[in-house]
């Protein structure tokens, strides 16, 4: 595995990431977004085709076709009128399926140290939500966890179905970590990791592990699909090593390319499609 290169401040999608700034520093602002409930209108009304599109059924242009064909009902009545507007509380169904108008959003963060992965903390510690506070008006939640001292990729979304898929063990979502230890990793211990270890809560298998190219033997890359708590740290602690640095460089096919530490970016349409195809 190659050591990750220094990244630039632009995202692959060509959009600037939101950077965490020290106190007193300039703050980046996200593009203005319209409210999912109101569609950006002061009256609280939203065009029916936009409501359907925001629910993830189809595009707005396709929604017009389905509306004209009578596939969409509002409060139990078929609506075929172009330009029809619905209000908060209306029950909208597509072919009988109840729709949720909140647009699905996906934000990828390169998490720095000293932030905990939770939406709030009663002890007043800094959370990852501070780092994406200007990314969206939707209620985004982190997918999975990275402990306070672990850095790297963390996905946020309001797509509950996708979040469940990416965290459920049966899907075996792959993650790659760059690990820095307090001492060189012995070749025999590397072999043990690749073969499989028996920890106190059961056996653990890794998909791959190797020294980082052109780096000291204390730097290791490990690919794993287990989602057990602190599993990477525990693997090395079991063999008598302390993890000095732990960085998640790949998550479910997403990478840190062009995403510096503390920055976030929106997923591209292609990346969202890829995640949706995970079985």
Q: How is the chain split into domains, by residue range?
A: 45-98, 106-170+256-276, 174-251
Q: Do residues 259 and 7 lie in contact, with contact meaning Cβ atoms separated by under 8 Å?
A: yes
Tell me which residues are annotated as active site: 147
Q: Mind listing the pLDDT tens digit of every residue in the chain (279 residues)?
A: 555 444 444 443 444 444 433 333 333 334 333 333 334 444 678 999 999 988 877 888 999 999 999 999 999 999 999 999 999 889 999 999 888 877 889 999 999 999 999 999 999 999 999 999 999 988 899 998 999 999 999 999 988 888 989 998 888 899 999 999 999 999 999 999 999 999 999 999 999 999 999 999 999 999 999 888 899 999 999 999 999 999 999 999 999 999 999 999 999 989 998 998 887
Query: In CATH, what class is 106-170+256-276?
Result: alpha beta
Output the six-digit token pair for 268: 């591209």
**Beta strands per DSSP E along the chain:** 45-47, 72-74, 77-78, 85-87, 92-94, 97-98, 106-111, 141-142, 151-157, 175-181, 197-199, 202-204, 208-211, 219-224, 243-251, 254-255, 264-266
Instruction: Work out whether strand 97-98 and strand 92-94 pair parallel, antiparallel, or are unpaired.
Output: antiparallel
Task: Establish how many alpha carbons lie within 13 A of residue 204's alpha carbon, considering only the half-sphere containing its beta carbon.
Answer: 25
CATH number for the segment(s) 45-98: 3.10.290.10
Q: What is the pLDDT of residue 166?
A: 93
Map residue 32 onto helix, strand or coil.
coil
Quickly name the fold that domain 174-251 has: Alpha-Beta Plaits (3.30.70)
Distance, CA of 146 to CA of 214 (rounded, Å): 27
| Domains 45-98 and 106-170+256-276 in one fold | no
Q: What is the pLDDT of residue 1?
A: 56
Q: What is the pLDDT of residue 39?
A: 41
Q: Do residues 109 and 132 lie in contact, with contact meaning Cβ atoms separated by under 8 Å?
A: yes
Distance, CA of 263 to CA of 43 (rounded, Å): 35
DSSP annotation of 116 reads: B
């Amino acid at each position: 595995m190659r050591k990750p290169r220094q990244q630039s401040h632009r995202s692959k999608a060509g959009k600037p990431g939101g950077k965490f700034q020290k106190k007193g520093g300039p703050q980046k602002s996200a593009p203005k977004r319209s409210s999912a409930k109101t569609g950006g209108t002061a009256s609280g009304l939203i065009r029916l085709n936009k409501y359907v599109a925001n629910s993830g059924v189809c595009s707005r242009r396709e929604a017009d076709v389905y509306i004209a064909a009578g596939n969409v009902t509002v409060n139990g009545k078929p609506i075929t009128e172009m330009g029809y507007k619905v209000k908060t509380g209306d029950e909208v169904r597509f072919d009988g399926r109840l729709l949720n108008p909140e647009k699905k959003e996906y934000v990828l963060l390169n998490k720095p140290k000293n932030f905990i992965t939770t939406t709030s903390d009663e002890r007043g510690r800094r959370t990852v939500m501070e780092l994406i506070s200007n990314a969206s008006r939707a209620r985004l939640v982190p997918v999975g966890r990275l402990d306070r001292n672990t850095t790297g990729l963390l996905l946020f979304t309001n797509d509950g179905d996708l979040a469940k898929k990416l965290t459920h063990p049966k899907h075996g979502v792959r993650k790659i970590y760059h690990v820095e230890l307090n001492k060189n990793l012995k070749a025999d211990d590397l072999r043990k990791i690749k073969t499989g270890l028996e920890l106190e809560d059961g056996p653990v298998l890794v998909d791959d592990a190797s020294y980082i190219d052109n780096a000291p033997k204390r730097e290791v890359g490990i690919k794993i699909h287990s989602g057990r708590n602190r599993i990477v740290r525990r693997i090395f602690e079991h063999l008598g090593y302390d993890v000095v640095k732990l960085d998640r460089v790949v998550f479910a096919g997403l990478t840190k390319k062009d995403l510096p530490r503390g920055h976030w970016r929106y997923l591209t349409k292609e990346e969202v499609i890829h995640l949706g195809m995970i079985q």
